[in-house]
Structure 1
Amino acid sequence: MPLTTNNLKFTIKQKTLNVLAFLLAVTVGSAQEIIEENTPQTVKDSVVKTGALKVDGVAAVVGDYIILDSDIDKTLLQLKAQGASTANFDRCQLFGKLLEDKLYAHQAIQDSIEVNDAEIRSRVDQQINQFLQQTNGSMDELLEFYKKDDEVSFREEMFEINKSNMLAAKMQDKVIEEVEVTPEEVRQFFNNIPKEERPRFGTELKVAQIVIEPKVSEEENQRVIDQLKEYKRQVEEEGRSFTSRAVLYTEDGASKKNGGLYTLNRSKPRMVKEFREVAFSLQEGEISEPFKTDYGYHIIYLEKIRGQEYDVRHILLMPKVSDDKIKEAKEEIEKIRQTIIDGDISFADAAKEFSNEKETKYQGGQLINPATQDYNFELTKMDPELYGQIQDLDNNEVSQVITDQDRTGAIKFKLVTVTDRIDEHEADYGRDYLKIKDLALNEKRFEAIEKWQDETIKETYIKISEAYRNCDFKSNWLKK
């Protein structure tokens, strides 16, 4: 009986394989099979360079890439180690996924698609930090687990595989970037679904909130500004190190260890708008005046300009809210709640008048679902924290005062309410148009991926080892 593979043509179809994004970074090892004479020279060089000789079997060659038997073995082991169920896919499916990734990466190189090395190194750092959490911070245990001799070679291996994965992702994006659906295509897609097979959508809620944030005193703001000005003076007039100031004093935990360093790219927005505008206005070696963002107050030192890339260091200080201001904010929101309960003002009007959350106040406090960009939240997909706040509320019931924290960790208070509830139902074209449009778009993307894969496989050197020729591939990897 032939082995089977679903081929997993597009990432939105890979729910059971999401963890592969970083598990593929453990595919180390070497090859046992002798590469044939008609194998591309770049692949031969790669096999020799990695020491891939008579140790591990070559499962496949795709363009300039090789896939080893150990790649599949270690992916399976890591999936199990992470607690993922392997019941829904088999070895052939994992192999098919690896074939696709290498095909995308190979074609990305042919199409001169570029990736940012600094971004890849940052991703490697994040992955290694995650791995270290599982070994209680022991790099020796980590290297032993991944059978690497030293940290440098481990990082190099991680870098190359992350680069391959990023190239593959960019190639996928390029294939589908111009795929769109018209309203007529959406209508035809929906009408072609047999009634008994139409999707069912779970219970949906519309949620609104009012947020009151304790105010920082002007004296506290000025204290922080003056402190940042002092750090700036110490560097400019006393010759002290900006990097050392950042390590010692910045309140940005993400950059504290590396001296407040970030690499910004003019063509790829990163950091908030105010931060970028100040950074890009500086000359090399210049330190900005203190400026404010939603995170607090900053000063920026522009260390180096490399074409479109700017290496900057910053120091962030966050003004502290006094206990008196916290007490005032809580008393204010309690009064607002009582006014709504008494019927003196609607929840929506109270949000417009009193809420400090500018993203929602002018919509009557209505929250926007970040996944769909509309006001509906499917109950089974709702953020657990938000679900916990509204699960016991009836329609239009106002919650008790909730103590929350913003993204900087500062305390804020809020009220939430459910403004509408739609029970689980069969898909309705008018009411569920946006969801149906997404389904239609996904199907059209699948078709674009299938067409691209079929054409690219024909034009690419591919060799599958005998051990995998019984896999039931849906794409023509065997070129029959």
Structure 2
Amino acid sequence: MRYLIFAVLLTTTMAATAQRQILDKMVATIGGEITLLSEVEEQYAYTKAQRNGAVPPEARCMLVEQILVNKLLLNQAKLDSIEVKDEEVESQLTARIERILSYMNDDLKQFEEYYGQTVNEVREQFREDLRNNLLIERMRAKIMADVSVTPSEVKDFFRRIPKDSLPYFSSEVEVGEIVYKVPINKEQKRVTMEKLEDIRKRIVEGKEDFAELAKKYSDDGSARGGGDLGWAKRGKYVTEFEAAAYKLEEMEVSPVIETQFGFHVLQMLGRRGNSIHVRHILIRPEITDEDVDLGQRHMDTVRTLLIKDSISFSRAVKKYSDKNVQSFNNDGRMVNPTSGNTFFEVGDLDPDIYFAIDTMKMNGVSKPIEFRDESGDYFFRLVKLMSRTVPHKANLAQDYAKIQKAAIESKRNEIVNKWVEERIQKTFMLIDRQYEGCPNLAPWMKENMAAAKPD
């Protein structure tokens, strides 16, 4: 039997809970963890909505099994005293709420109308759900720790795939990049610092509230929460920010500091061991049209050097590319965030990069491509086509890394499946008989569900 591991995302839980009705029935107990009927029905309704109603007849049975597996993992995580720190919960909770707000164009009114609660109320309600999800992930990782496959196992895995079932891989490319962040001119820096110095003065003289000024002036997502960044451990922030923060006493306001993100004023709200709770006001200097033009001319010059073979691509990466970009430490090669390797299907590339390399010859270098990151900073990149494969049926010679990854996932699933089967026999559980018609739940529906076999 195959057991699916189902991790409920906060956004899924939120969407379902936005329409939650009174909990009316307990349908399962797994160790110390309970499952309510409304939990099953909410997730079923969400799945159905996501698929425009196109769900198979056995969908509810499969969903119940996924929930039960999660409860089994959660119960064992607590028995094993697996730890999830408060700082991690707060950090992920903030990031996910920020993501939802970004989908709503940072419209707090829309958020509150959709969820029927304020942002802070949503945070309070879903904090425990997120903690449990992290415990489930930790437990699953513990079960699958140190799983690896030998070359012979990879070959055996590949040979077991029926020839008529071998996947057909589309064309893939490797792309190198040199990324240049457009610098801010001195005049704009001066104007920004003076503005922030004035804001700081209004705070330290007690004329205005830090949080209100953060809401009004700060240029990042924390503005809506008064600049509050929550609890964080040492190492979370960039060096300049962290150095300033750890010097502060409680409620003290820092001088104006500069980081790669702009200029900040910080206030210490609390300290707990090696963790700090700060808020800040961030103002980003404006990039002028002249700055952008200078950046483009700079990258035109770098491209000319590459085309004339006056410098190697690898050397140009080290000399000209932004050190904060992931590709800098990979000889300029871009890494596919989905696969973790350097190969991209052309359809997965950023549109600007796709069109730049679409008709490019091997080892060609594009003209400077302008783009902005999530923070609004301006960049230019040069991209180089480093390799291109033709569409083909999967084979070990060309696709070993992909086949190896699939073999590892298969082995992990086998380990988790075996663990679940063993824990079912050793864990107290009660499953409501309304699910007796689900064939996949037969192992969970014991004749004597009132007692579990001892270890």
TM-score of the two chains, using structure 1 as the length reference: 0.76
Displacement of 1:250 in angstroms is 1.7
Counterpart position of 1:377: 344
Match of 1:309 among 275, 297, 313: 275
Segment of structure 1 superposing worse, 391-400 or 129-138 = 129-138
Root mean square deviation of aligned Cα:
3.9
For residues 2 and 415 of structure 2, the distance between their equivalents in structure 1, rounded to whole angstroms, comes to 17
Structure 2 distance, partners of 1:137, 1:85, is: 26
CA-CA distance at 1:262 after TM superposition: 1.0
Q: Which residue of 2 aligns with 1:137?
A: 110
Partner of residue 8, structure 1: 4
Determine the C-alpha separation between the residues in 1 that align with 2:187 and 2:102.
Answer: 40
- After the TM superposition, which residues 311-350 of structure 1 pair with which residues of structure 2 at under 5 Å, given as runs? 311-338=277-304, 340-341=306-307, 350=316
- Checking the alignment, whether the CA contact within 8 Å between 2:372 and 2:378 is kept in structure 1 is yes
* Whole-angstrom CA distance in 1 between matches of 2:108 and 2:280: 32
Aligned partner of 1:293 in structure 2 is 259
Mapped contact 1:279–1:302 kept (Cα < 8 A): yes
Identity %: 29
Paired residues of 2:6 and 2:66 also in contact (CA < 8 A) = no
Residue 225 of structure 2 aligns to a residue whose secondary structure is: coil
Are 1:100 and 2:49 counterparts? no
2:216 matched residue in structure 1? 248
Matches within 5 A, 1:56-455: 56-83=24-51, 86-87=54-55, 90-115=59-84, 116=86, 118-119=90-91, 122=94, 125-126=97-98, 129=101, 137=110, 139-140=112-113, 142-143=115-116, 157-183=125-151, 185-190=153-158, 192-193=160-161, 197-238=165-206, 240-252=208-220, 254-266=221-233, 270-338=236-304, 340-341=306-307, 350-356=316-322, 359=325, 360=327, 365-383=332-350, 386-455=353-422
Q: 2:440 aligns with which of 447, 459, 473?
A: 473
Cα distance in structure 2, aligned partners of 1:475 and 1:389? 55
The one-letter code matched in structure 2 to 1:214 is V
**Which deviations, in whole Å up to 9, do the C-alpha atoms of 1:116-141 show, x marking residues without a partner?**
36357536745874797899717456
Cα displacement string for residues 418-439 of structure 1 (whole angstroms, at most 9, x for unaligned residues): 2210123344445433323322
**2:177 partner letter:** Q
Question: How many matched pairs?
Answer: 441
Shift in Å, 1:205: 0.5
Question: Counterpart of 2:444 in 1: which secondary structure?
Answer: coil
**Larger CA deviation: 429-438 vs 297-306:** 429-438
Between 464-473 and 124-133, the greater mean CA deviation after superposition: 124-133
Change (3 A) 1:98 1:22: farther
Letter in 1 for 2:370: T
Q: Which moved more, 1:311-320 or 1:236-245?
A: 236-245
Q: Which runs of no fewer than 5 residues in structure 1 stay unpaired?
A: 31-51
CA distance in 2, matches of 1:438, 1:9: 18
* Deviation of 1:327 (Å): 1.8
d(CA) in 2 for partners of 1:249 and 1:118?
Answer: 24
Inter-partner Cα distance in structure 1 for 2:308 and 2:146: 53
In 2: Cα distance, 1:124 partner to 1:398 partner = 37
CA apart distance, 1:261? 0.8
Aligned residues of 2:179 and 2:322 also touching (Cα < 8 A): yes
Contact 1:209 1:415 in 2 (8 A): yes
SS of residue matched to 1:257? helix
Q: Give the deviation of 1:348 after TM superposition.
A: 5.1
CA shift for structure 1 position 194: 5.4
Closer, same or farther: CA 308–28 of 1 in aligned 2, 3 Å: farther
Single out whichever of 66-75 and 192-201 deviates more from structure 2: 192-201
Residues 212 and 438 of structure 1: CA distance in aligned 2, closer, same or farther (over 3 Å): same
Query: What is the distance in 2 between the residues matched to 1:457 and 1:229?
Result: 62
Whether the aligned pair in 1 keeps the contact of 2:176 and 2:334 (CA below 8 Å) is yes
Segments of 5+ residues of structure 2 without an aligned counterpart are 448-455
Show CA shifts across 1:151-197 (max 9, x none): 99876654444443333233223322343445554455445555555
Name the residue aligned to 1:36.
Answer: none
Distance 1:97 1:126, change over 3 A: farther
SS in structure 2 opposite 1:368?
Answer: coil
Q: 2: CA distance between counterparts of 1:312 and 1:86?
A: 47
How far 1:344 moved relative to its partner?
Answer: 5.8
> 2:256 corresponds to which letter in structure 1?
P
Inter-partner Cα distance in structure 2 for 1:397 and 1:131: 37
Q: Does 1:456 align with 2:428?
A: no
